[in-house]
Amino acid sequence: MSTSLIYHTQGIQGFQHESFSFSGGCVVQRLKRKNFRCLQCNSRNVSRYQTRRRKIQALPYGQKPTFFELDVHQLYCFTCGKKTSEQLPFLSHPKARLTKAFERTIVELRRDMTISALSDYFKVRWHTIKEIEKRHLQRKYARIPLKSVKVMGIDEIAYGRDEKGKIRFWTIARDLKTGAVLHVDKGKDGDSLKNFLKRLRQSGAKIEVVAMDMAKAYISWVKKNLPGTKIVFDHFHVIKLMNDKIDKERRELAKTLDKQQADQLKNMRYILLRNEENLKPNAQERLEALKAFSEELCELHTMKEELRSIYRTAENELQAALALGDWCEKASVGCSKNMRKMAKTIHSHWEGIIAYWSYGGLTNAAMEGFNNKVKTMIRQAYGLRDLEYMRLKIFDLPKIRQNDGI
């Protein structure tokens, strides 16, 4: 009965039950191997001698922690003359302290339970559960298919600071059609995509479109390594860049004011940057007063809303090109130097900006939303102690619900 039990509940074959014992609230089941075979030639003509005794945690019987206790032997084969150490087939690796069935159960439950909850429930160390999941993710994402990828997004995300206080980044590449994560590596330049490029070439992938922000490093990498691939600058980043110009103008203006006026201007930052239709009536009044106070801020805010309007109303590439051309011409003679810089930026990135309409409004918004999920995961982790584990979790993140624990 007990031998049948370990087969049906624990998936263990080739071992027999010897005895049960109970110690410290745990079940200890003594096992022995039915027969021994040479690992080299599979012969039964072997001698053995015990080298050590092992205790391995298994799936619990009921709510009692359960351990298998058995002797491990050294084998000598009279047929082939080889000496080998006995292997336990129900372990994922020779030094494992949990059975394969137990590890599979932990991996399955991790989708709905945090590491700390699993640790408390199964009475297993937090570190052990993390390492089990890490090995599972390493196997799962050892090979990521790239051949069918046509449209991808590239973006960077900050994940902390190094010992010198410098911000650290991950570069993330995703398939914008399926949402799958294709690549994660440290840095935010071409070097962070070096291994990815090698995998792309080995897979024979033909990338047609890459959506990204206006980071020079990524633009240069795509033009150099993916010739013929079209670059699309996401409209979110164009508007964000426009907002950066407004904020820079606000800070420059604050330096010319006394402390009280500068503090008041500081508190109006989000009124300037928020979409005008989302402002409450009192915020709208404050915005109008600010625009009356500064001609440059008035011009920048008005031009920002006009730029947003182009993205809302232009229906095709031609309409967008005409509207953006008029916008740039108007901005180039504006009174604000930040406005003129914005016009130059649009001119220098013209092809990638217009490509937004060429590809039916292709956007990198999915990457921005995904970055928010990464940031949430990092916050839930309360600090990054194992960067490789967190990197692997990013690959798995599209399959994790937002409210799941890390």
Domain spans, the chain: 1-90, 151-234+364-399, 235-358
- The pLDDT value given to residue 365: 72
The phi-psi region of residue 351 (left if phi > 0; otherwise alpha if psi is between -120 and 50; otherwise beta) is alpha
Query: Contacts from 23-26 at CB under 8 Å and sequence distance 24+?
Result: 25/64, 25/65, 26/64, 26/65, 26/66, 26/67
Name the band, by pLDDT with cuts 50, 70 and 90, for residue 383.
low
- The pLDDT value given to residue 199: 94
- The pLDDT value given to residue 381: 66
Which residues make Cβ contacts (< 8 Å) with residue 57, sequence separation at least 6?
65, 66, 67, 97, 98, 99, 102, 124
Is pLDDT of 386 > 90? no
For residues 73 and 203, give the distance between their C-alpha atoms in angstroms, rounded to a whole number: 45
- What is the 3 state secondary structure string of the chain? CHHHHHHHHHCCCCEEEEEEEEECCEEEEEEEECCCCCCCCCCCCEEEEEEEEEEEEEEEECCEEEEEEEEEEEEEECCCCCEEECCCCCCCCCCCCECHHHHHHHHHHCCCCCHHHHHHHHCCCHHHHHHHHHHHHHHHCCCCCCCCCCEEEEEEEEEEECCCCCEEEEEEEEECCCCCEEEEEECCCHHHHHHHHHHHHHHCCCCCEEEECCCHHHHHHHHHHCCCCEEEECHHHHHHHHHHHHHHHHHHHHCCCCHHHHHHHHCCHHHHHCCHHHCCHHHHHHHHHHHHHCHHHHHHHHHHHHHHHHHHHCCCHHHHHHHHHHHHHHHHCCCCHHHHHHHHHHHHCHHHHHHHHHCCCCCCHHHHHHHHHHHHHHHHHCCCCCHHHHHHHHHHHHHCCCCCCC
Is pLDDT of 392 > 60? yes
Instruction: Work out the burial of residue 130: count CB atoms within 10 Å of its CB; fewer than 13 is exposed, 13-18 middle, 19 or more buried.
Output: middle
Is pLDDT of 57 > 90? yes
Q: Which of 245, 234, 36 is nearest to 152 (CA)?
A: 234
Domain 151-234+364-399 class? alpha beta
**CA of 109: how far to CAs of 231, 268, 277, 373, 377, in Å?**
41, 47, 45, 20, 18
- The pLDDT value given to residue 56: 94
- The pLDDT value given to residue 403: 41
Following CA atoms 377, 380, 382, 387 in sequence, which dihedral angle do they give, to the nearest 10 degrees?
-20
- Taking the CA atoms of 73, 79, 82 and 87 in sequence, report the sign of the dihedral they define: negative
- The pLDDT value given to residue 279: 83
Scan for tokens 């490789």, then name that residue. 388
Give every strand in the sheet of 209-212, ordered side by side.
181-186, 167-175, 151-161, 209-212, 230-233
Name the band, by pLDDT with cuts 50, 70 and 90, for residue 400.
low
For residues 30 and 361, give the distance between their C-alpha atoms in angstroms, rounded to a whole number: 65
**CB atoms inside a 10 Å sphere around CB 355:** 19
Task: Calculate mean pLDDT across residues 264-277.
Answer: 81
- The pLDDT value given to residue 384: 61
- Mean pLDDT is lowest, of 74-78, 125-129, 381-385, 386-390, for 381-385
Share the mean pLDDT of the chain.
88
pLDDT in tens, 10-32: 888 889 999 999 988 899 999 99
- The pLDDT value given to residue 29: 92
Check: pTM over 0.85? Answer yes or no: no
Name the band, by pLDDT with cuts 50, 70 and 90, for residue 105.
very high
pLDDT in tens, 259-270: 887 777 777 888
Is pLDDT of 39 > 70? yes
Angle at 229 between CA 225 and CA 231, to 5 degrees: 105
- The pLDDT value given to residue 281: 86
Is pLDDT of 382 > 70? no
- Mean pLDDT is lowest, of 109-118, 343-352, 366-375, for 366-375
- The pLDDT value given to residue 404: 45
pLDDT in tens, 166-216: 888 999 999 999 889 999 999 988 899 999 999 999 999 999 999 988 889
Task: Calculate mean pLDDT across residues 367-383.
Answer: 75
- The pLDDT value given to residue 217: 92
What tokens does 166 get? 């410098």
Task: Calculate mean pLDDT across residues 302-324.
Answer: 93
pLDDT in tens, 330-369: 999 877 888 899 999 999 999 999 999 998 888 777 777 7
- The pLDDT value given to residue 406: 46
In this structure, are residues 238 and 307 in contact, taking their beta carbons and an 8 Å threshold? yes
- The pLDDT value given to residue 136: 94
Task: Calculate mean pLDDT across residues 152-164.
Answer: 86
Spacing of C-alpha 119 from chain mean position: 24
For residues 163 and 151, give the distance between their C-alpha atoms in angstroms, rounded to a whole number: 37
